Amino acid sequence: MKILAIESSCDETAVAVVENGRKALSDCIASQVALHRVYGGVVPEIASRKHIEAIYPLADEALKTAGVTRKDIDAVAVTYAPGLIGAVLVGVNFAKAAAFSLSVPLIPVHHIRGHIAANYLADPELAPPFLCLAVSGGHTMLVHVKDYTEMEILGGTRDDAAGECFDKIARVLGMPYPGGAALDRAAQTGDGTKYPLPRAQVDGNPLDLSFSGLKTAAINLIHNAAQKGETVDVPSLCAAVCAAVSEALVSRTELALAQTGCKTLAVAGGVAANSRIRADVLALAQRRGLRLCLPPLSLCGDNAAMIGAQGYYEFLAGNVADQTLNAYATKSVLGEAL
Ligand code: KG4
Ligand code: ZN
């Protein structure tokens, strides 16, 4: 089954053709990052307009790269939530028109379910059940993937997402948007023990996380140094931030593994590209003898192939939509009724 998959929830327009949920025949991305960089963050209205300009030619490119024609497409999958509402709407409307004109099923896919499914492309043998640490710019959660479309959220952030924490600290350090990758690069030459940063513990669910205190502590450290005319050792501060975020994520992951008895761990989302987190997760997997799925960097960030991968399993589960499908800025990964 060949699925034409569409992703437009933030600042990347992406279209892919995915076969049977496991093989990306094409995976095309038109990034808007450079455009938003001058504003220090995504400008939603600009994002929506650029998605409209990019999506049609990108769909043609995705078909061409995959070596297929419109007639070969068996279904259209699209990110319908969550994201910037204007941006998601562009993808949803394009997908509705494509499914209607090709007379094929329309499959709505939750963006975070898509991130999780990037692991099916990275590791064709991976099958539920497994534990997934999903970390992106907008979400941080531990998901027990019991089956392809059956999930339980075991814990998550109470405030900022890990990516948001990286990006805001990077911004104060003068790094270009989105700063997560630049902060990671700067951290490579730093000493992560030089600046003591807080590790938050939250009341209630021991698997929950909080990153706002860490973000504030790092930003205060930068501002205090500036007021005193002192220079901050930027690589060491970046390394300390990476260490604090990674320790928080890995300690909760370890607890969740014990709680669920899962022997397979997958990692997903843009923040899964972070070198410290990748190294720590790998060490955890070796320590506990886990089967680890750590997607390549190209499958960590936003892409459409992951939407096609999850779309296949949503289709098999009967989760298809009609032409009344709407876009949603927020929606639970658990997949409530549309
Ligand atoms: O999954 P994603 O591409 O988009 C969302 O769904 O949010 O994640 C983007 C996030 C941004 O916050 C970005 O700074 C972060 O992933 N990111 C990183 C790295 N690469 C991307 N954060 C830390 N280290 C990295 N190497
Ligand atoms: Zn994403």
Q: pLDDT tens digit string along 34-59? A: 999 999 999 999 999 999 999 999 99
Indicate the pTM of the whole model: 0.97
Atom of ligand 1 nearest to the CA of 111: 6
**What is the per-residue pLDDT for 254?**
98
Residue 36 lies in a domain: yes
**What is the per-residue pLDDT for 335?**
74
Count CB neighbours of 231 within 10 A.
Answer: 7
**What is the per-residue pLDDT for 72?**
98
Q: How many domains does the chain have?
A: 2
The answer on pLDDT for 97 being more than 60 is yes
Residue 166 lies in a domain: yes
Nearest Cα to Cα of residue 321 among 3, 149, 75 = 75
CA of 93 to the centre of ligand 2 (A): 19
* pLDDT grade for 288, boundaries at 50, 70 and 90: very high
Residue 87 lies in a domain: yes
Residues 112 and 169 occupy one common structural domain: no
Structure tokens at 192: 């992560």
Please say whether the beta carbons of 328 and 89 come within 8 A: no
DSSP string computed for 315-330: HHTT--B-TT----S-
Residue 137 lies in a domain: yes
What average pLDDT does the structure give for the chain? 97
pLDDT tens-digit series, residues 215-260: 999 999 999 999 999 999 999 999 999 999 999 999 999 999 999 9
Give the separation between CA 194 and CA 163, rounded to whole angstroms.
22
CATH number at residue 212: 3.30.420.40
Give the separation between CA 7 and CA 13, rounded to whole angstroms.
6
The parent domain of residue 292 ranges over 128-298
Burial of 317 (0-12, 13-18, 19+ CB in 10 A): middle
Q: Is 28 helix (H, G, I), strand (E, B) or coil?
A: strand
Please say whether the beta carbons of 333 and 45 come within 8 A: no
CA of 135 to the centre of ligand 1 (A): 8
Considering only residues 336 and 39, tell me which one the structure prediction assigns the higher pLDDT.
39
First to last CA, the chain: 24
Residue 329 lies in a domain: no
Task: Quote the crossing angle between the two packed helices 162-172 and 180-187, to the nearest 10°.
Answer: 70
Mutation test residue for ligand 1: of 31, 169, 271, the one with most atoms within 8 Å of CB: 271
Residues 192 and 290 occupy one common structural domain: yes
Give the separation between CA 165 and CA 180, rounded to whole angstroms.
9
Q: What is the largest CA-CA distance in the chain?
A: 66
CA of 56 to the centre of ligand 2 (A): 21
Quick one: what percent of the chain has pLDDT higher than 90? 98
